[in-house]
């Protein structure tokens, strides 16, 4: 199944003047923002080809790092991206104010600048900040995104594109909402890839309505993150080769040429989770949600974990024991924690029952892998010739019929 790496191998030799910016390009730059670079803060910038040639990528420890580095290597070696100049990259984590924020600028050959906002990293600080969005009108990373976009816009008069995956998608939209109108007018589009929506205070503002039509939202078929809060409509549903929450990883998103492979709607699992979370938010106060989040992360931090990946083995067992006993927190917070947890479970169970009474989703487990060069060439030939063999057409027809039966 084709993914971002295949796109670069397949279409990386096509320059922007031949094939304009598309939704896959946006995902590539959003993925680039997860990497840290030696010299990335340089205001003069480095081309991706230069950064790749002298290997300016800082090594990472997350399980996603190898795939993201492969994306960068493909971009830096491609005709399409190697001349793009990366500059003013920043990465900030501040435990005192509970902020995790990173962004970069990439000057594209078509005369635009793409501002990319990173999603949540592996730190507990970053995840805590994400959960704070459930009860806080503006978290520190959103404030930083507004400031960063303002400074990026002041660097030149180039048109702007904003991109981000996960929390990065939320930051891209949020920065655009609260940018000065003269900056908003320069924004050609905002591409959010499974990014959480806006809180109600923001989604009803005049500023949001001014940029709403510039938002391009993409979510996988079992989207959870992208269905949070007031999500962006209309959105495009992307086929994924993964299952459940693993679909949040865009390396599993299926691509054909310059577009995603799409479905008509998210699946029933996403609907159940979405409805449960929305009911939970509607039936709890901001103060209750704040107490819930603070208690949860207070217990996580008491295990001495600093990264989400630390919560394995003994630390995870300790956290689960604490959640079960809840003796380590203030009695009032403990009561709120128990009440909200029970409420979420009850709502979720009710939604699952409703789903079972309706139509049960049929799904199969798949693992993603890059397309072979032979298959890539075969697909390219079909795309260029406009048809395929009889066997190929029959296989495609059978696949479409099968998917139509599975789709809600």
Confidence of residue 405 (pLDDT cuts 50, 70, 90): low
Pairwise pLDDT comparison (330 vs 392), residue with the higher score: 330
The top-scoring range by mean pLDDT among 61-65, 176-180, 377-381 is 176-180
pTM for the model = 0.78
Confidence of residue 339 (pLDDT cuts 50, 70, 90): low
**How many C-alpha atoms does 52 have within 13 Å on its Cβ side?**
19
Confidence of residue 286 (pLDDT cuts 50, 70, 90): confident
Residue 370, phi then psi, degrees to nearest 5: -75, 155
Residues 215-255 pLDDT 10s: 999 999 988 888 877 888 999 999 999 887 788 899 999 99
Lowest mean pLDDT among 176-180, 278-282, 307-311: 307-311
Which domains does the chain possess?
Answer: 4-266 (3.40.50), 275-357 (no CATH), 373-399 (no CATH)
How far, CA to CA in Å, does 80 sit from each of 67, 161, 189?
19, 17, 20
- pLDDT of amino acid 348: 47
The SS3 call for residue 348 is: helix
The SS3 call for residue 252 is: helix
Residues 78-113 pLDDT 10s: 999 999 999 999 998 887 877 889 999 999 999 999
Tokens coding 39: 């010299």
Cα R_g (the chain), whole angstroms: 22
Residues 25-42 pLDDT 10s: 999 999 999 999 999 999
Pairwise pLDDT comparison (361 vs 39), residue with the higher score: 39
Average pLDDT over residues 384-395: 47
Beta carbons within 8 Å of 178's beta carbon, 6+ residues apart: 146, 207
Q: Is the pLDDT score of 118 beyond 80?
A: yes
Residues 245-284 pLDDT 10s: 788 899 999 999 999 999 999 988 888 777 877 776 777 7
Residues 316 and 298: their CA atoms lie apart, in Å, by: 14
Q: Is the pLDDT score of 63 beyond 90?
A: no
**Number of CB atoms found within 10 A of residue 295's CB:** 23
Is residue 219 a contact partner of residue 266, using CB atoms and an 8 Å limit? Answer: yes
Confidence of residue 293 (pLDDT cuts 50, 70, 90): low
Average pLDDT over residues 44-70: 94
Q: Is the pLDDT score of 320 beyond 70?
A: no
Confidence of residue 123 (pLDDT cuts 50, 70, 90): low
Confidence of residue 394 (pLDDT cuts 50, 70, 90): very low
SS (H, E, C) 152-220: HHCCCCCCEEEEEECHHHHHHHHHHHCCCHHHHCCEEEEEEECCCCECHHHHCCHHHHHHHHHEEEEEE
Lowest mean pLDDT among 93-102, 152-161, 364-373: 364-373
Give the total residue count for the chain: 408
């Amino acid at each position: 199944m084709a993914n971002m790496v295949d796109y670069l191998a397949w279409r990386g030799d096509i320059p922007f003047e031949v094939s304009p910016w598309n939704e896959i390009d946006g995902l590539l730059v959003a993925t680039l923002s997860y990497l840290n670079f030696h010299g990335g803060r340089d205001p003069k910038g480095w081309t991706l080809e230069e950064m790749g040639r002298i290997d300016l990528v800082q090594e990472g420890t997350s399980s996603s790092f190898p795939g993201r580095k492969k994306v960068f290597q493909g971009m830096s070696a491609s005709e399409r991206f190697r001349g793009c100049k990366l500059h003013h990259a920043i990465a900030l984590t501040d435990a005192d104010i509970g902020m995790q924020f990173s962004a970069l600028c990439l000057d594209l050959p078509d005369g635009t600048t793409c501002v990319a906002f990173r999603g949540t990293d592996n730190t507990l600080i970053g995840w805590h900040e994400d959960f704070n969005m459930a009860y806080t009108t503006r978290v520190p990373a959103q404030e930083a995104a507004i400031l960063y976009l303002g400074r990026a816009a002041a660097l030149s008069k180039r048109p702007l594109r904003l991109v981000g995956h996960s929390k990065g998608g939320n930051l891209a939209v949020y920065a655009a909402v609260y940018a000065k109108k003269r900056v908003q007018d320069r924004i050609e589009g905002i591409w959010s890839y499974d990014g959480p929506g806006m809180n109600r205070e923001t989604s009803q503002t005049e500023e949001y309505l001014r940029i709403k039509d510039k938002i391009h939202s993409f979510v996988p078929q079992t989207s959870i993150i992208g269905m949070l809060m007031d999500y962006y409509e209309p959105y495009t549903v992307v086929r994924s080769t993964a299952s459940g929450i693993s679909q949040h990883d865009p390396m599993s998103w299926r691509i054909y040429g310059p577009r995603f492979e799409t479905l008509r709607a998210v699946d029933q699992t996403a609907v159940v989770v979405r409805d449960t979370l929305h009911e939970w938010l509607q039936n709890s106060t901001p103060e209750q949600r704040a107490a819930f989040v603070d208690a949860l992360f207070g217990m996580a931090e008491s295990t001495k974990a600093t990264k989400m990946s630390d919560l394995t083995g003994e630390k995870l067992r300790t956290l689960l024991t604490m959640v079960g006993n809840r003796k380590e927190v203030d009695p009032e917070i403990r009561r709120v924690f128990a009440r909200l947890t029970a409420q979420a479970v009850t709502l979720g169970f009710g939604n699952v029952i409703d789903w079972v009474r309706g139509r049960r989703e049929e799904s199969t487990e798949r693992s993603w892998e890059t397309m072979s060069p032979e298959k890539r060439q075969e697909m390219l030939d079909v795309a260029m010739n406009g048809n395929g063999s009889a066997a190929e057409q029959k296989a495609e027809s059978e696949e479409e019929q099968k998917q139509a039966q599975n789709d809600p």
